[in-house]
Chains A and B, each alone.
Chain A
Amino acid sequence: MKLKTALLGAATAVALSGVTAQAERGADGHLNIIYWQAASILNPFLSGGTKDTEASSMVIEPLARYDEQGNMLPWLVDEIPTVANGGISEDLTTITWKLTPGIKWSDGSDFTAADVVFTGEYCMHPEGGCQQESKFAGVKNVEALDDLTVKITFDGPKPFPYAPFVGVESPIIQAAQFANCLGADAPNCTEANFGPHGTGPFRVTEFKANDVISYEANPHYRDPAKPAFATATFKGGGDAAAAARSVLETGEFDYAWNLQIDPTILTQMAGAGKGTVVSSFGTSVERLMVNLSNPDAALGDKRSTLEGGPHPFLTDPIVRTALSKAIDRALVSEVGYGAAGKPTCNVLPAPAIYASTANDACLGQDIAGANAMLEGAGWVKGADGIRAKDGVRLSILYQTSTNAVRQDTQALLKQWWSEIGVETELKNVDAGVFFGGDQSSPDTYQKLFADIEMYTNNFAGTDPEAYMGNWVCDEIPMPSNNWLGSNMPRYCDPAYDALAAKMGQTSALEERAELAKAMNDMLMQAGAMIPLVHRGDVSAHSNTLNGVKMNSWDSELWNVADWTRAD
């Protein structure tokens, strides 16, 4: 790889002597990217995995995307449609995008509204198994008004209509290439899935599934001076530590993604001086989900359901608050996440306009306070040091997925909780099973046959409406909906549901932010969830690579067209 880089570098240097490197497409030679999880496919509609969507983001693009601050940027359009500029109808049921004229596909053909319409049709096909289908939730119709105008009609008012065709997960694919790949035929179009035509800065020259992708600069890219790199490799395989090493220590690669490894090791590697560790914070929060229903095995089918009745002690807000108070979030974050984490008291910590400050008191650990609270509420310590009231002992089964950091966190919390007289039994479940959603397994995170569970969740893009909608009554997983639902705490408050409904009818950004904060605060004060760590993304880039803007709101490669080689 080194040799190739050197050769290419030399060749381009000769060809371009006297010209400033940044000003010319392909002037900077070869770019080496490593994603330790190899890309399986370049069609994000058939694989929602981050590795796949990001690999494809160098090739195919959405109409608008998010910058590193979480602001929406027009990408294949000239401006973002709003009610104010008439792009969104007054009744909030339609949005009209005007495409930038002159954009071409990498095969030289014109990019038109028909491609956008086709993409919608492709993903909304009932038999296609489109993994980004939720982006098109509520879309009634996508139509081309003319070659450069697309109108999306929703089946009701859509206050935040920026889900379809916005962000890394909803790019536009070429109608001509995928015409025969609709519905059940989608998986049979291997060639198209492995080498989609795109409007992005690169196009695929070779795709080896689960291994490596070779790109070259797209000759039809809209900005003739970009990308600076003539070719690029997107290598997969190995693990995060090896990827970090290849950028920070051996210098073989220019960019390594998702380096969730022991923070001290990462710092040590960065000490070699070849590369830089970068992080950014999106919406991921490692949190505890408190089961408000009764997980007692004796309940049989009614276990952990609303019908099974309330939890024997976690329904007491004092207990939930005490549990939260006993935690030193800063320490949890430091030990487990290093640069990739910071303590948080909100389940909705970002983007900044949505972040509440009402709950920040939880940042400080207060074991004495927690003890006092419990004492005051009548939870008194028994002979074994465990608090009890009316024969109910504070004994918690605390589950999470198998993962070294999570097990460390579990151990810390168990220690702190023991100091406030709460007994904790730890359990960890293989991630594949825990998150797998297998109906027959009792260990899924949805069934929550435990008192407390811990995992991270987030939302894509910047709009929290759908995310905050996770905790309405209808989202409670139960046997009748095959345990499909995301309201793990089984939290059910009509007031919360009302706020969620209101948000669904509000379009103005400031108002939406107020609503979201209010919902976050409700959840936090009810103690249905105990947030621990705001988790960021950590990547690393070579010191010879300029232009990286780490982005948690979109693809990390969102601005790869602007990346250049430092001299």
Chain B
Amino acid sequence: MLDATPRKLVEVRDLKMHFPIYAGILRKRVGEVKAVDGVSFDIFAGETLGLVGESGCGKSTCGRAILRLYDITDGSVKIDGAEIGDTPQGGLRKMRPTMQMVFQDPQASLNPRMTVEAIIGEPLMEHTDLSRDKRRDRVHELMDAVGLNRTFSNRYPHEFSGGQRQRIGIARALALNPKFIVCDEPIAALDVSIQAQVVNLLEDLQEKFDLTYLFISHDLSMVRHIADRVAVMYLGKVVELSPREALYAEPLHPYTKALLSAVPEPDPDMTTEDRVILQGDVPSPSNPPQGCNFCTRCPAVMDICHREDPEFREVQPGRFVACHHYNQTAGDTAASEDNKSIQQGETT
């Protein structure tokens, strides 16, 4: 990504998605779930940005908020140059063809009462004025593209296997020639044997149709395989964003380190003693800690972490991190020293 100047297809700035919490007989608003709480990043045209994090950290919410499947609380989202952060839902409809989503659960995300043809063809009906026959042709084309037998076009979703259903979901997303697709854990619900097929399909399609992906996953090894850059989320915030190689080789944020050390991949450089096991539970997104969100579990926590929320900033070219360790000195040495102490101090 360092060659030329890549075009930014998606620009997210300070995105916030808070869900209100109501309680009591009168349903008074008593608080909010800060599912996404100030997230900023760019996605360049043609790349795949991986978004990883523990379950519940707000990945799906983030993906949906970017596509404006929610009315966001705050922030700006620019897709292909157009600001959609505050566009009303009605106005958004026309822009939907550019941006699409593949959902985690292929079964639940397909209307059980519609045939494959209707599912894939419905957006064509809404957004194009193709004739009936042309529409059918296009559906068949798409089915070919995702590797579905076109004779099955009159079947209902429940008649397919999980992998096939996800292919239907992908074909559906592709129908309107989108530029940007959010893949929200598209393989998490599938058998391991089928996961690779679907990932490969996504990669092939990316090449063929020149797609840009936001690939959401909790599976670090899968992200390593597919993503060009990786963003790590913790409790509604992106804590680190780096090119893939750099991230996996030298994670900067203590949380990223902990995550990577937990990957069951055989890594010759890391013995079991090097594992960082995080203590305690993830705080509730409705009541995040003061200061750094990670301060309650961070092995290298400092005083300041409890007071101030670290800024998310570029500490190396192309590498962003939100951690006070990189804020104080801005020097690489200090950071790496700290790293040592972390690992020694908290090994179990």
Q: Let me know if chains A and B touch directly in the complex, using CB atoms closer than 8 Å.
A: no
Query: Hey, which bits of chain A sit against chain B, CB under 8 A?
Result: none
